[in-house]
Amino acid sequence: MTDFKQVADRLIRAIEDWPEDGVTFRDITPLLAHPEGLAATVKALVDAARALGPIDVVAGVEARGFLLAPLIAEALGTGLVPVRKAGKLPAARITEAYALEYAEAVIEIHADAVTEGARVLIVDDVLATGGTLAAAVRLFERAGAEVAGAVVLIELPALGGRDALAGVPLTALLEY
């Protein structure tokens, strides 16, 4: 299998000024559409997850975290919990507001999504300011779970998102 970084650098495209001026969007869809790219991505994320010790459930953050989390959960033999945007879940929910690098949002999980003490791995595609992942951490802590760590495909270190996750083990496969 090709080295993950080599294939990722070749397949991830940068789109300037999207979704608004001054933002560089990292489009991972070409990476995921390429069989070798997808396999290398999943392997690298699963390896990072296994380094955290036992995981009881994988949480995928909407929307692009949904693309990666089920593949990781299946490889680890765990269940999957969706972390959704507000208004998307039908049962009792725990909600958390947060700021993005270019907007504000609310995420939620079902109140019964995890059992007390469950070790949760949170998965998203990009760590920018850290608002989304920090909100997800708070959601799972309020639900009684232990956040074992987080894995992301891309980190944008200039935006300081890692600081918002102080104390949470974090692995980013790439930095831009």
DSSP notation for 74-137: HHHT-EEEEEEETT---S-EEEEEEE-SS-EEEEEEETTSS-TT-EEEEEEEEESSSHHHHHHH
- Is 101 part of the annotated catalytic residue set? yes
Cβ-Cβ contacts under 8 Å for 77 (sequence gap 6 or more): none
SS3 per residue for 1-38: CCCHHHHHHHHCEEEECCCCCCCEEEECHHHHHCHHHH
**Given the residues 26, 64, 84, 93, the one annotated as active site:** 64
Q: Quick check: 36 and 69 in contact, CB under 8 A?
A: no
**C-alpha closest to that of 148 among 78, 91, 92, 70:** 78
The DSSP bridge partners found for residue 106 are: 97
Active-site hit among 36, 62, 74, 101: 101
| Annotated catalytic residue 155 | no
Q: Is 91 exposed, middle or buried (0-12, 13-18, 19+ CB in 10 A)?
A: exposed
Annotated active-site positions, please?
64, 101
